[in-house]
Amino acid sequence: MKPFLKQVARHYYNGGDIQKRCFIFPNRRSMIFFRKYLCEEVAASGKDPIVAPQMLSINDFFSRLSGMTTSGRIRLLVELYECYCRLNPNAESLDEFVFWGDVLLGDFNDVDKYLVDPQQLFCNISEYKDLQDDYTYLTQTQKDAINAFIKHFKDDSGKLTVNIDTGDADVKGRFLMIWNLLLPLYTEFGKVLKAKDMAYEGMMYRSLVEKFSAEDAAQVLRTAFPREESFVFVGLNALNECEKAVLRKLRNASLAEFCWDWSGDMIRNPQNRSSFFMSDNVKEFPQAFRLDADGLELPSFNILSIASSTGQAKRLPDIVSQIARMHTGGDLSKVGTFEDGGIPQCCR
């Protein structure tokens, strides 16, 4: 078995000048295991120790380049609620807002990460809600009744709207009111966060894409990473539009290499939906080197149904103990330390 990260560590260590590269991973866990495999390669070589190369998660990489840091979700929700209250005089309490406000944060995050034009999106949504049902299956009397009701929510242009100053708690009225607040809320929220040096993840991503469009990408990289000469993206999967835009800039400037976990029959199987985006990624951002054709062994799974997350947390220590006993012959004193991301050596 030749793990993907081990192959990457071996390739770049043997290639030399690894200290001049920056490695970018999808998360910190993969970064920890890459560091482990790199240490093993250095130890096995018998050569002098090296200075470890720069290693970052993709989020930290974007943060470094954009000069922005993401704020905590609770702080963002409070700021979003204050913006919402300014736009809606009849806003509900914070306790009621938190649940769907969290959904709004996720939507705004996706809008920015996929470089969607918010003005076009929210206008189209409003028009779509007006056009999606032509009521052809209703009688004329039913159509007249519905049209009489809906006309109260239309302005002179025919677009669905509602008077936000009304105290009417009608469900449809509240729904349309919120729908029509989306664009001004998105705009106001972005202005407030920028003024306070705050950001959510998607806002940071879009900011970097705009920065790369306005400035020379190579110069931005040299400023943020004065020691690194190239950037290696390791093990990414489903890329959003911001990530694609940044990776294209680096690829076109010959500053980036890409390592995809794209070996072995299982990962290449078109029926494997977990690798749905990988074939497109490999085509647009070619593999830096040829991986071992064998890849990883086919995994085996034991499925245990547990109803709640609390139950899962309570069951986990028993499962880990069972695995440890299998690998140590029942002597738990032989279990290794919880290094490398908190995983016992016997359970990797």
The sign of the torsion formed by the CA atoms of 158, 159, 160, 163 equals negative
pLDDT greater than 80 at residue 342: no
- CA 88 – CA 82 distance, rounded (Å): 10
More confident residue, 329 or 10: 10
- CA 262 – CA 272 distance, rounded (Å): 12
pLDDT greater than 50 at residue 346: no
Measure the CA angle with vertex 71, ends 68 and 75; round to 5°.
150
Q: If you write DSSP's letter for every residue of 92-108 in order, what string do you get?
A: --HHHHHHHHHHHHHHH
pLDDT at residue 240 in the model:
95
> Cα–Cα distances in Å, from 84 out to 8, 65, 77, 250?
48, 31, 10, 38
pLDDT at residue 262 in the model:
83
Q: Determine the average pLDDT of the residues in 258-268.
A: 82
The sign of the torsion formed by the CA atoms of 66, 72, 74, 75 equals negative
Query: Is the CB of residue 35 less than 8 Å from the CB of residue 265?
Result: no
pLDDT band at 158 (very low <50, low <70, confident <90, very high): low
pLDDT at residue 245 in the model:
96
pLDDT greater than 90 at residue 131: no
Query: Is the CB of residue 30 less than 8 Å from the CB of residue 4?
Result: no
The CB-based long-range contact list for 97-101 (8 Å cut-off, 24+ gap) reads 101/77
pLDDT at residue 129 in the model:
57
Among the residue ranges 58-67, 129-138, 222-231, the one predicted with the least confidence is: 129-138
pLDDT greater than 50 at residue 340: no
Strand order in the sheet with 21-25: 54-57, 21-25, 230-234, 256-259
CB neighbour list of residue 142: distance below 8 Å, 6 or more residues apart: 135
Question: Does the pTM of the predicted model rise above 0.85?
Answer: no
> Cα–Cα distances in Å, from 240 out to 165, 191, 245?
39, 23, 9
pLDDT tens, position by position, 32-54: 999 999 999 999 999 999 999 99
Query: Is the CB of residue 55 less than 8 Å from the CB of residue 200?
Result: no
pLDDT at residue 209 in the model:
96
pLDDT tens, position by position, 7-25: 999 999 999 889 999 999 9
* Bridge partner residues of 71 (DSSP): none
- CA 343 – CA 39 distance, rounded (Å): 17
pLDDT tens, position by position, 66-125: 999 999 999 999 999 999 999 998 888 999 899 889 999 999 999 999 999 998 888 766
- CA 182 – CA 166 distance, rounded (Å): 18
Q: Determine the average pLDDT of the residues in 232-255.
A: 95
- CA 41 – CA 342 distance, rounded (Å): 21
Phi, then psi, of 20 in degrees rounded to 5: -90, 5
pLDDT at residue 94 in the model:
93
pLDDT greater than 90 at residue 143: no
pLDDT greater than 90 at residue 257: yes
CB neighbour list of residue 198: distance below 8 Å, 6 or more residues apart: 71, 75, 76, 79, 192
pLDDT at residue 271 in the model:
79
pLDDT tens, position by position, 160-214: 565 655 555 565 566 667 778 899 999 999 999 999 999 999 999 999 999 999 9
- CA 38 – CA 5 distance, rounded (Å): 9
- Indicate the DSSP class of residue 26: S
pLDDT at residue 156 in the model:
65
The per-residue pLDDT of the chain, averaged, comes to 84
pLDDT band at 307 (very low <50, low <70, confident <90, very high): confident
Among the residue ranges 31-45, 142-156, 173-187, 311-325, the one predicted with the least confidence is: 142-156
Residue type, 324: A
